Structure 1
């Protein structure tokens, strides 16, 4: 019977966090992975888990026919219960627990698997995890309305709670995982800080090591973010910054919608990857990462932690939709530890 750790993930970052938790904090448990965003599928390595499967999101992927969303919820519970099997203890990991697609598992899965105890544990969700999101009165009412489903299906017994919407204040939550270097507002007695998520081996002490940098490209002129002159100026600024950082080898990862490789400079090594960028970054090591406003910069900083300098360039030239968008995006990047130039 024993313990089973279940992970509901929706992003590559959550997936890599789940891998570290499985290895360091849930060692000895049966490991079951569920991903509910199709884009996560390519980063999943099934051989790293005892069981894994795609879990359709009920609201966006209901079953055909009447009450498709309701039937999808019940079908998902049966799917996960079959993967988990009989057990004594369940540890359910998710970045958020107020959504009906996850919350119903809190009560339904222990009953379906015969578990005597259950603990919910929160996965880090990058920038979203740096602040609290209190449940509004309307959302509190919606939680109780969701309990009405149990009248038609007893296993759909929603567990209402108060405070932060991710469940950090809820009585069923006993642990909150956070990324190193990122601020948070969670109860200190529940917080566990993960190690940097990158798995690249550290170099031998005293051994010479090539200082490596990565430039992350994205479509700039074609999308109107920068004009040609500004793009060229930013490209030069990034190149000079890499030199100032003492970088000896610069790799360039273009974007599928950036066939011109606008930030590329002579001497950069162009990467052609046969795996998702997020998974590739996890087993590589870079001393500096640069780009303009790609979300991959946020991912890189959250992945590598304090050991890698990550910088975003050209923000004085980039055309944002509004000053509010510029302000909010700059706040998010800086909160993650990304230098904004």
Structure 2
């Protein structure tokens, strides 16, 4: 039996890097268990860094075949994670959000199945999303109680209903919220723990061609995510290309977003970057004269890990469809506080 197990549910490279820092700095001595549930994380996982690590299918998108496939996947996932965690005295469950059936059921199922006498839930940072609070609406609260009905046929699926912020920051099971240094937030001060830098900036960056100026354009879903109309997206792409031309930068690289198969901001002369590491690690190790995008969290990390002479610019903010004026204001404040130029 392990004395303490630290379990991390991650869905992005950023969350993976945060989990690594937590494991090293705050959960040293615990059994370290990683579970990732988005296939895009797979290439960056270093199995040797964990005591146990496995991919977990998301029940909604990857149900088991046949009748009640989603329900059976939920139960199968619990068995999977119980096997990874093993028996323990104390269990710390880390996730970026707890208002989702794919994660929430573990809060009650795992301690009982693993014999844990104590369980605490801790929140992983999730980039720009973490600068806002997202209060649960009445509809979402009712949905929580509907999910609790599963325990009538599967006692281990006992949903933990809660109120306040949907990620679980106000819930009684949450005792710690990890945040990224330099990024503003609205979480309770008594729960917040500031992480050390997620990546170490290399003092010997990858050598590039001397005299050749380079830029990286960071893609993200814009039209596909409802953030812009197609004509606005095209105008922003043209604006970025015009800025690069004015700066005399001709070697242009493009990092696509996993949820942007159409590569909305990529032009024909942009060279696609394919990585087997987190983008944040790539930015820390590879010099660029400019890093450009719209409102990707990667711009914040590019600013933190790049020398002062590197231009980091967010374009097209006058064309973005923000959910509210408050969101626009808070997001702009986060970018400018971190030193990103907002056009």
- SS of equivalent to 2:144: helix
What do residues 112-163 of structure 1 show as CA deviations (whole Å, max 9, x unaligned)?
Answer: 1111110100000111110111111111111112111111111111111111
Distance (Å, rounded) in 2 between the aligned partners of 1:219 and 1:153: 42
d(CA) in 2 for partners of 1:137 and 1:44?
38
Q: Which residue of 2 aligns with 1:254?
A: 254
Aligned CA distance change for structure 1 residues 290 and 184 (closer, same or farther; 3 Å): same
Matched, 1:66 2:67: yes
Q: Which residue of 2 aligns with 1:247?
A: none
The alignment covers a number of residue pairs equal to 313
Task: Please give the alpha-carbon distance, in whole angstroms, between the structure 1 residues aligned to 2:194 and 2:329.
Answer: 25
Partner of 2:118: 117
Shift in Å at residue 185 of structure 1? 0.7
Contact 1:330 1:340 in 2 (8 A): no
Secondary structure of residue in 2 paired with 1:28 = coil
TM-score normalized by structure 2? 0.79
Q: Distance in 2 between matches of 1:335 and 1:167?
A: 22
Which runs of 5 or more structure 2 residues have no equivalent in the other structure? 205-209, 221-229, 257-262
- The 1-side partners of 2:323 and 2:141 are apart by 29
Query: Given that residues 87 and 114 in structure 2 are in contact (C-alpha distance below 8 angstroms), is that contact kept between their aligned partners in structure 1?
Result: yes
The residue number in structure 1 matching 2:193 is: 192
C-alpha contact (below 8 Å) 1:9/1:35 kept by paired residues:
yes
CA drift of 1:288 comes to: 6.3
Question: Counterpart in 1 of 2:226?
Answer: none
Q: 1:304 to 1:173 in 2, by over 3 A?
A: farther
The CA RMSD over aligned residues, in Å, is: 3.5
TM-score normalised per structure 1: 0.79
Aligned to 2:341: 339
Structure 2 partner of 1:18: 19
Counterparts of 1:147-296 in structure 2, within 5 Å, are 147-201=148-202, 215-217=215-217, 225-226=234-235, 230=239, 232-239=241-248, 252-255=252-255, 258=266, 260-262=268-270, 275-276=276-277, 278=279, 280-281=281-282, 283-284=284-285, 289-293=290-294, 295=296
Equivalent position of 2:96 in the other structure = 95
Change (3 A) 1:41 1:223: farther
> Aligned partners of 2:47 and 2:123: how far apart in 1?
22
Shift of 1:324: 5.1
| Rounded Cα–Cα distance in structure 2 between residues aligned with 1:213 and 1:334 | 30
Which residue of structure 2 aligns with residue 80 of structure 1? 81
Could you tell me which residue of structure 1 aligns to residue 8 of structure 2? 7
CA distance in 1 between counterparts of 2:46 and 2:232 reads 34
Q: Give the deviation of 1:197 after TM superposition.
A: 1.0
Separation (CA, whole Å) in 2 of partners of 1:302 and 1:82: 35
Q: Find the counterpart in structure 2 of residue 144 from structure 1.
A: 145
Question: What 5-or-longer segments of structure 1 have no aligned partner?
Answer: 204-209, 241-249, 263-269
User: 1:282–1:176: structure 2 CA closer, same or farther, 3 Å change rule?
Assistant: farther
